[in-house]
């Protein structure tokens, strides 16, 4: 990603600043790529079966202060994708002597609810998404970061050096970013370039289309297709998006965040609303499939690393973050999982085919049409009401 692209692409981050509201943030978006079932002996993941939903283990009693460097246990709460690399986890334990235990969640809201209920007090590192960072800051849940113990923010592309959800990166370090688009069977459907294709081909798609199980992402999709912001607070625009989605409903097989993947690969589905990490992944399993960012625009999301104020092992948390954010380590993770990095040095180490993949690192003209899912304040009640109508019956 060139410096020119970084400068031009800041529009989708600025949009969050324009739309921000101090009281209530949007419902979550996210995929849940669950683990394959292998456990890292003595180190990791008693909760790693595929397609089990939220498998976070029962809380343990946290210590009252940080344990010394190189000792103790580090509990992490994350999207499963980010802790599914046994070699890296073994290497971290070998270098530091720190035993890592990772629990996984399927949505930002699941994570927040557990943290607020006190069940998350054993975690020293969490991976919230952009809008959730803002909410956790407002709730006083996050520690300010000590950048003498972390990679320099100057390694990040400019739009992530002081993002609107966390000005100055005081409480969060950007880890990964991506988009939300459509993966489709081009052999069966031809070329899909924009959201409107779904409506134009709803008869052909009948019962063979899935949308994400996420109110903001799905309503945002319809809003972008109508030329509106995906984070509008205008009741008429939100209702128009609902009515447009209602027209598409006969074609929708289900609202699914992860269960569509196998169905898509074997051809039972023809199109699925998807996060880029999932869409690019299924492309490799079936050459007839293609992930696209619709030309009228889509969602851009960022996942971060934070240290909660209740962290029982702050020293181990910094060691983990420094290790995982280091370009040599991060490039191995990102290369394996086909994720987009906000770090210039990490991107430079990625395989050429990934750096040149426009689905992973979209060009300027695509990103300029994209937006973050920003806080919509009390308008979330309108979104929720229409979502209930859409998904019921």
Which CATH number goes with the domain that contains 189? 3.40.190.10
> Is the backbone of residue 267 left (phi > 0), alpha (psi -120 to 50) or beta?
left
Which of 28, 24, 45 has its CA nearest to residue 36? 45
**Greatest pairwise CA separation for the chain in angstroms:** 62
The H-assigned helical ranges of 63-191 are: 86-96, 108-116, 130-138, 186-189
Instruction: Give φ, ψ of 126 to 5 degrees.
Output: -130, 155
Which pLDDT belongs to residue 328? 93
Which pLDDT belongs to residue 278? 87
Q: Are residues 125 and 239 in the same domain?
A: no
Q: Are residues 145 and 184 in the same domain?
A: no
What whole-number distance in Å separates Cα of residue 143 and Cα of residue 385?
35
What whole-number distance in Å separates Cα of residue 228 and Cα of residue 238?
9
Work out the number of other CB atoms within 10 angstroms of the CB of residue 364.
Answer: 15
Contact between residue 89 and residue 44 where contact means Cβ atoms under 8 Å apart: yes
Which of 172, 108, 116, 176 has its CA nearest to residue 330? 176
Which pLDDT belongs to residue 207? 94
Q: Are residues 263 and 315 in the same domain?
A: no
Q: Are residues 156 and 191 in the same domain?
A: no
Q: Are residues 269 and 318 in the same domain?
A: no
Residue the block writes with tokens 């600043």: 17
Q: At a CB cut-off of 8 Å and minimum separation 6, what does 119 contact?
A: 56, 59
Whether residue 358 lies inside any domain: the answer is no
What whole-number distance in Å separates Cα of residue 258 and Cα of residue 275?
10
Structure tokens given for 367: 């990103």
Whether residue 334 lies inside any domain: the answer is no
Q: Are residues 53 and 86 in the same domain?
A: yes
Please give the DSSP secondary-structure letter assigned to residue 252: E
Whether residue 14 lies inside any domain: the answer is no
What whole-number distance in Å separates Cα of residue 271 and Cα of residue 210?
7
Q: Are residues 224 and 370 in the same domain?
A: yes
**Intervals of the chain under pLDDT 70:** 1-71, 393
Q: Are residues 320 and 378 in the same domain?
A: no
Whether residue 55 lies inside any domain: the answer is yes
Q: Are residues 105 and 236 in the same domain?
A: no
Torsion angle of alpha carbons 106, 107, 113, 115, nearest 10°? Answer: 80
Which pLDDT belongs to residue 71? 57
Domain count, the chain: 2
Whether residue 338 lies inside any domain: the answer is no
Integer CA distances (angstroms), 24 to 27, 52, 136, 226, in order: 9, 29, 11, 25
Whether residue 13 lies inside any domain: the answer is no
Angle between helices 327-337 and 314-325 (to 10 degrees): 70
> Is the backbone of residue 40 left (phi > 0), alpha (psi -120 to 50) or beta?
beta
What whole-number distance in Å separates Cα of residue 372 and Cα of residue 16?
6
Q: For residue range 177-235, what is the model confidence (pLDDT) as tens digits?
A: 999 999 999 999 999 999 999 999 999 999 999 999 888 899 999 999 999 999 999 99
Q: Are residues 80 and 206 in the same domain?
A: no
What whole-number distance in Å separates Cα of residue 362 and Cα of residue 353?
13
CA 153 to chain centre: 21
Whether residue 99 lies inside any domain: the answer is yes
What whole-number distance in Å separates Cα of residue 290 and Cα of residue 287?
8
Which pLDDT belongs to residue 56? 38
Q: Are residues 147 and 231 in the same domain?
A: no
Which pLDDT belongs to residue 27? 36
Structure tokens given for 390: 């859409």
Integer CA distances (angstroms), 192 to 99, 187, 309, 355, in order: 47, 11, 46, 23
Whether residue 26 lies inside any domain: the answer is yes
The three-class DSSP label of residue 23 is: coil
Residue 261, domain extent: 180-299+366-391
Work out the number of other CB atoms within 10 angstroms of the CB of residue 46.
Answer: 10
Q: Are residues 104 and 129 in the same domain?
A: yes
């Amino acid at each position: 990603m060139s410096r020119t692209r970084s400068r031009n692409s800041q529009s989708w981050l600025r949009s969050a600043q324009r739309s921000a509201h101090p009281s209530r943030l949007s419902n979550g978006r996210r995929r849940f790529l669950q683990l394959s079932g292998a456990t890292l002996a003595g180190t990791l993941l008693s909760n790693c079966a595929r397609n089990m939903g939220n498998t976070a283990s029962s809380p343990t009693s946290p210590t009252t202060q940080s344990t010394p460097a190189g000792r103790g246990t580090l509990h992490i709460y994350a999207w499963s994708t980010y802790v599914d690399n046994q070699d890296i986890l073994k290497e971290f334990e070998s270098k530091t002597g720190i035993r890592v235990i990772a629990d996984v969640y399927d949505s930002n809201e699941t994570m927040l609810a557990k943290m607020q209920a006190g069940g998350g007090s054993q975690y020293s590192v969490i991976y919230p998404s952009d809008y959730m960072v803002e909410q956790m800051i407002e709730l006083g849940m996050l520690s300010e970061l000590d950048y003498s113990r972390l990679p320099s923010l100057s390694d990040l592309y400019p739009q992530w050096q002081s993002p609107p959800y966390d000005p100055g990166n005081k409480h969060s370090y950007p880890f990964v970013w991506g988009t939300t688009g459509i993966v489709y069977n081009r052999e069966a459907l031809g070329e899909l370039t924009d959201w409107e294709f779904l409506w134009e081909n709803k008869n052909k798609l009948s019962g063979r289309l899935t949308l994400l199980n996420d109110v903001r992402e799905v309503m945002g999709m319809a809003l972008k297709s109508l030329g509106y912001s995906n984070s509008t607070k205008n009741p008429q625009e939100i209702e128009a998006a609902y009515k447009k989605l209602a027209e598409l409903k006969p074609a929708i097989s289900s609202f699914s965040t992860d269960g569509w993947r196998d169905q898509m690969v074997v051809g039972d589905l023809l199109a699925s609303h998807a996060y880029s990490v999932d869409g690019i992944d299924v492309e490799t399993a079936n050459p007839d499939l293609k992930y696209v960012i619709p030309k009228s625009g889509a969602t851009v999301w960022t996942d971060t690393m934070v240290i909660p104020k209740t962290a029982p092992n702050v020293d181990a948390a910094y060691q983990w973050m420094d290790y995982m954010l280091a370009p040599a380590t991060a490039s191995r993770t990102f290369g394996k999982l086909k994720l987009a990095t906000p770090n210039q040095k990490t991107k430079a180490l990625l395989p050429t085919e990934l750096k040149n993949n426009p689905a992973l690192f979209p060009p300027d003209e695509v990103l300029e049409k994209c937006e973050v899912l920003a806080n919509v304040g009390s308008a979330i009640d309108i979104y929720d009401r229409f979502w209930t109508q859409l998904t019921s019956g």
